[in-house]
Amino acid sequence: MPIDLVIDGGKLVSPDAIVDGAIAIDGGQIVAVGTLAGLPSARQTIDAKGLHVLPGAIDVHVHFRQPGYDHKETWSSGTAAAAVGGVTTVFDMPNTNPPTATVEAVKEKLAIAGAQAIIDFGVYGLIGEHTLDKLEGMLAAGAISHKLYMGSENPLVPCPSDGAILEAFETLARLGVRCTVHAENTPVLQWRGHQLMRSGRTDAGAHIEQHTDVATVEAVSRTAIFAEWTGAKVHIAHESSRHSLPHIRFAKSRGVDLTVETCPHYLFLSTDDGARVGDNFLRVKPPVREPGHCEPLWTALLDGTIDIISTDHAPHLPEEKRRGVIWDCAPGFPGVETSMRLMLNEVARGRWQITDYVRAACAAPAKAFGLWPRKGSLEIGADADIVLVDTQRRSQITAAKLHSRGNASPFDGYETVGLPIRTLVRGKTVAVDGSPVCEGGWGKPVTRSSS
Ligand code: DOR
Ligand code: ZN
């Protein structure tokens, strides 16, 4: 009996090597890897000559906005954007409305996602003072992990007290599940925000002053200390500051089970980009900072201090991003559709290798959250989540053509070399040449096999 599919003629990329080879896929999984002659015959063959074959990217930090903010994104538009961008699994944040803070809310979000998604997904449950007794239940209901907003100005997802955080870490250490932390110091953000507003500041610089680096340095350190004390595994979201890096290195040197992500906007942008896109438009939490952070963050990504590339895909409508008073300007940008090509462009420029990209975008997130080796790898037995990449393809990012509802991107107009051109999820092609080609409902929730 022929198998479903063979992808032949491409260069297979893992974190360690690039090898010429073919991949055999049956029943949604990789069943053999080798030369075409050695593989079983297949009903369909995809010719990948001249292309690189990567595991699909796993983005552990997206905001797909449903339920509650459908005008910014839906699971349909968000997963379409992700599929086009070469992302095959996303983890969605709990700051929806209602927040994902109960067993029922987890189930509701999984149902919405399941009906619309064209790629696989996980949802985070919220760590809050009123959810401490629900953490295990939310996992049992299908949440992939939990999110802690240590830095929060949103009353729907308030920062718990340190006492509650410590208790949450004790619980999660027992459960063996890594949680993701927005590491900023809430009292610092609140105090400074209040003072800046009272003094009449409405400019973009006030946002940077509010989110002073030490707010994140302190919260990263506190997270590491609590994790070390309790044995909890933690993941630091969206690292933005070079000043955090020595503290992360110190924690890792002590053996704290800490993983760290950064995002393209911290690797490529500084406040200088305000002149191009608008100072207020650049607003994101934590902020894109003054020049001097991108290079140290790249160094940290290359030396393993930073483990993971995510996007913090946080779409808002262009008009929500272009308000004149900084406090009214919606924070964040879409990212899932543009991240891979931006990071591949740095491969073309020689800053890093495509193997490094696969480590940071595919293997490391899968390992951190217990999906490895079923996700993030091209090994036999893995889900056939695969991206065909043309590393030579030159193209331009056009924000208005992105598939997100909130398609206000600071990377509008960027020229990149390297493009995902075909994305498969469990063996099914979900996007080709910039367009989604799959009906909603193909995406499935992911589960931990280890953590
Ligand atoms: O800039 C941000 N936007 N930071 C966050 O923490 C939340 C996000 C959003 O949901 O818009
Ligand atoms: Zn976020």
CA of 199 to the centre of ligand 2 (A): 28
Atom of ligand 1 nearest to the CA of 93: 10
Report the mean per-residue pLDDT for the chain: 97
Question: Is 331's C-beta closer than 6 angstroms to any atom of ligand 1?
Answer: yes
pLDDT per residue over 14-39, tens digit each? 999 999 999 999 999 999 999 999 99
Q: 340 in helix, strand or coil?
A: helix
Say what the pLDDT of residue 451 is.
44
Atom of ligand 1 nearest to the CA of 182: 6
CA gap 52, 366 in Å, rounded: 20
State yes or no: pLDDT of 396 exceeds 80.
yes
Tell me the pLDDT band of 166, cut-offs 50, 70 and 90.
very high
Mutation probe of ligand 1 site: the residue of 61, 62, 63, 216 with most atoms within 8 A of C-beta = 63
Cα angle 331, 313, 209 (rounded to 5 degrees) comes to 30
State yes or no: pLDDT of 153 exceeds 70.
yes
- From the list 193, 190, 281, 290, the residue with the least C-alpha distance to 241 is 290
Which tokens is 275 given? 């002149």
Q: Determine the residue type at 432.
A: V
C-beta of residue 55 within 8 angstroms of C-beta of residue 17: no
HSE value, Cβ hemisphere, 13 Å, CA-based, for 415 = 3
178-202 b/e with 16+ CB inside 10 Å = b? Answer: bbbbbbbbbebbeebbeebeeeebe
Among protein residues, the one with the nearest Cα to ligand 1's atom 10 is 314
pLDDT per residue over 280-338, tens digit each? 999 999 999 999 999 999 999 999 999 999 999 999 999 999 999 999 999 999 999 99
pLDDT per residue over 111-138, tens digit each? 999 999 999 999 999 999 999 999 999 9
Atom of ligand 1 nearest to the CA of 95: 10
Residues annotated as catalytic are 312
Q: Which domains does the chain have, with CATH numbers?
A: 56-368 (3.20.20.140)
Question: Is 314's C-beta closer than 6 angstroms to any atom of ligand 1?
Answer: yes
CA of 211 to the centre of ligand 1 (A): 13
Among protein residues, the one with the nearest Cα to ligand 1's atom 4 is 285
Among protein residues, the one with the nearest Cα to ligand 1's atom 11 is 314
CA of 66 to the centre of ligand 1 (A): 14
Question: Is 72's C-beta closer than 6 angstroms to any atom of ligand 1?
Answer: no
- Minimum-distance ligand to the CA of 153? 1
Q: 59 in helix, strand or coil?
A: strand
Atom of ligand 1 nearest to the CA of 151: 6
Question: Is 285's C-beta closer than 6 angstroms to any atom of ligand 1?
Answer: yes
Question: Is 284's C-beta closer than 6 angstroms to any atom of ligand 1?
Answer: yes
- Minimum-distance ligand to the CA of 334? 1
C-beta of residue 297 within 8 angstroms of C-beta of residue 242: yes
What is the percentage of the chain residues whose pLDDT exceeds 70? 100
- Minimum-distance ligand to the CA of 65? 1
Question: Is 182's C-beta closer than 6 angstroms to any atom of ligand 1?
Answer: yes
pLDDT per residue over 354-375, tens digit each? 999 999 999 999 999 999 999 9
pLDDT per residue over 223-259, tens digit each? 999 999 999 999 999 999 999 999 999 999 999 999 9
Which tokens is 115 given? 């009906």
350: alpha, beta or left, given left = phi > 0 and alpha = psi -120 to 50? left
State yes or no: pLDDT of 186 exceeds 50.
yes
CA of 431 to the centre of ligand 1 (A): 27
Atom of ligand 1 nearest to the CA of 237: 6
State yes or no: pLDDT of 450 exceeds 90.
no
Question: Is 95's C-beta closer than 6 angstroms to any atom of ligand 1?
Answer: yes
Q: 185 in helix, strand or coil?
A: coil
**β-strands 120-127, 87-92: how paired?**
parallel
Question: Is 63's C-beta closer than 6 angstroms to any atom of ligand 1?
Answer: yes
Among protein residues, the one with the nearest Cα to ligand 1's atom 5 is 285
Tell me the pLDDT band of 449, cut-offs 50, 70 and 90.
confident
